[in-house]
Chains A and B, each alone.
Chain A
Amino acid sequence: MTPATGAAPFDDEGWFFEPWWPGRPVIARIEGGRLRLAMEQLLADPTESFPELRTLVDQVTTDSVALVGTLLVLDRDGRPDPDLLRARLADPTSRAGIGAFVVSDLPWADGRPLGDWPFAQRRARLLEVLADGDRAMASRGLRGEGRTLATAVASMGLDAISARRLSARWQPGVAGEAFLRLPVLAPTAAETRPLLVLLRRLPLDEDG
């Protein structure tokens, strides 16, 4: 399902809004405990380029799943960096940055397709099926409050949010009434807070 581009963030209780993470769309298939990644315009299986994503297999509580989401590479400060991602994809042996996978949809689980389910239900199942991990987790977002999320995302230095209609079924191709990419205006200098710079390394014995 590919998004259409919307005009601006909006508020609507029937939609779920997430940050548009600066990475590449990817489908992760887990079958019999084995992980395979598939990306558009990439012939080779990028799984070998991202060994850190193998933990995904242990995070998934059921078998025979397909997870749709965004592949990111984080820099040392934990920020997604598209340049590092490009570098990783160009050179399979490169280990630049930290690979990460933000999952937004679950079109297939337990060996059967969930395309007929409304997105809200697919996402609920996704949260049940995928335990959070440091390298892969379900995308976080807000229901209804598109503009609040846009403000939040802008202060993080990202430039778009995604909007998915909670009642929509999975459709192939561009699904403008179900999936939108909404550009976000960059905040004025006074509003920008370097929140992304706050990530600190914590001592090993910190217990959260």
Chain B
Amino acid sequence: MARSMWRGAIQFGLVTIPVKLYLATESRGGLSFNMLHEPDLLRIQMKTHCPEHGEISRSDTVRGYEWSKGQYVVIEEADFEKVPLKTVRAIEIEQFVPADRGGFSTTFVKQAYYIEPEAVGRKAFLLLREVLAEAGLQAICKIVLKDRETLAALDPFADTMLLSTLYWPDEVRDVKELDLPDASADFKPAEIAMAKQLVEAMTGEFDPSQYRDEYREALLQVIAAKVQGEEVELPEPVVETRGLTDLMAVLEASVAAARRKGTEEEAAAPPAAKATGAKKAKADEVPVSVDEARKARATRPAAANAKVAAADAKPAAVKTSAAKAPSKAGAAELAEAADGATRAAPAARRRKSA
């Protein structure tokens, strides 16, 4: 059920016909695309932003007119109603003219609207329509749409009338602005005859339904090929960067690497707290990835992990993954805190003797 976008009345002389306007056309336009952020293919969001308050809701906005630099006056719906112009709610017919197919009034059409008369105006509406159709006339009128007064033409159309909004004459650019060839050129009769033949061969009745947007179809084919041809790159589910856990893992890896370097340089006693076979095997594989560091921590002596489990007593808002336990074992290794025996020290000593 279409929604009318304007209500008012056709006015001329003493006649008033209450009507509603509906857009006669809708734009299918091209295919619509979404804007994505390239690295992660997430849809971007447009936020309304106030320089003072940050992100705000659209419902908190009003329209303002800048009457002087930086000075605004707020204009509300009520103000628009107060505009003292009779065409605000009326289609004022200025005059009737012969309905010309090709003159100004059809060439520079902006938008077409269907007219639907209100119940009380039905008879008058149909009468007007009948008269225009029989006499071959159209009505030139003025109407206020979207805060602008517009020139329009009213024509009988199907069971109703069509209101076509037109560009104002001063909005129509002069043809003289173009670089056109001299209109009076000499043609040979044979040339004219041949041109006529070509044109007549393609002459026929205009059937709009025969035409469609072929570019759109072609583009859809390209898209389909891309969807099937290559693997669709689904955006990776956004995992929160694991912040400090990862940072400390990098530190551990750096320390291990620094120790290895130290061992190579000194060829001395085995480095303290060298973690596990897994890590040893990868001794030459630098850099160490977080994955490997995690696996290495996971295979550490169970004793260290058990003690750590106790420390994870209240991880409520924190990610409870096994990554935390191994990380604490890392703490055991790296911290080597105090002489006053802590959990850490015994774990370290145990490994040393292993």
Contact = CB atoms under 8 A, between A and B. Distances in A.
User: Real complex partners, A and B?
Assistant: yes
Contacts of B252: 140
Contact of B331 (A98, A132, A135, A206): A132
Given A127-B335, A152-B254, A208-B294, A76 B241 contact: yes
Interface in A105-164: 118, 120-121, 123-124, 127-128, 131-138, 140-145, 148-149, 151-153, 155-156
Contacts of A65: none
A202 B269 CA distance: 36
Contacts of B314: 58-61, 131
Given A93-B54, A134-B243, A194-B287, A141 B318 contact: no
A204 B319 CA distance: 11
A208 B316 CA distance: 18
B117 interface: no
B241 A131 contact: no
B54 A78 contact: no
B311 A149 contact: no
A36 interface: no
Q: How large is the interface on B (under 10, 10 to 19, 20 to 34, 35 or more residues)?
A: 35 or more
B42 interface: no
B339 interface: yes
B334 interface: yes
Contact of A208 (B250, B287, B322, B334): B322
Contact of A102 (B237, B244, B312): B244
A134 B343 CA distance: 22
B243 A148 contact: no
B336 interface: yes
Given A78-B242, A124-B342, A208-B298, A59 B318 contact: yes
B57 interface: no
Nearest to A150: B258
B286 interface: yes
Contacts of A155: 254, 257-258
B290 A135 contact: no
B148 to A, nearest CB: 39
A153 B261 CA distance: 14
B197 interface: no
A148 B258 contact: yes
Interface string B310-331: 0111111111011111111011
A54 B316 CA distance: 12
Contacts of A193: 257, 286-287
B241 A138 contact: no
Nearest to A155: B254
Contacts of A141: 334-335
B246 A140 contact: no
Q: Interface centre among B289, B298, B317, by most A CB within 10 Å?
A: B317
B340 interface: yes
Contacts of A7: none
B342 A127 contact: yes
Interface string A64-102: 000000000010111110000000000001000010101
A137 B324 CA distance: 11
B126 interface: no
A120 B340 contact: yes
A152 B318 contact: no
Contacts of A132: 244-245, 311-312, 318, 324, 327-328, 331
A59 B244 CA distance: 14
Interface in B231-247: 236-237, 239-247
Nearest to A134: B243
A135 to B, nearest CB: 6
Contact of A156 (B254, B290, B331): B254
Nearest to B297: A208
A25 to B, nearest CB: 17
B291 interface: yes
B243 A124 contact: no
8 contacts: A54-B317, A60-B314, A78-B242, A131-B313, A140-B331, A198-B290, A199-B246, A199-B250
Closest 4 CB pairs of A and B: A120-B338, A208-B322, A152-B254, A208-B323
Interface of A: 16, 19, 54-55, 57-61, 74, 76-80, 93, 98, 100, 102, 118, 120-121, 123-124, 127-128, 131-138, 140-145, 148-149, 151-153, 155-156, 166, 193-196, 198-204, 206-208
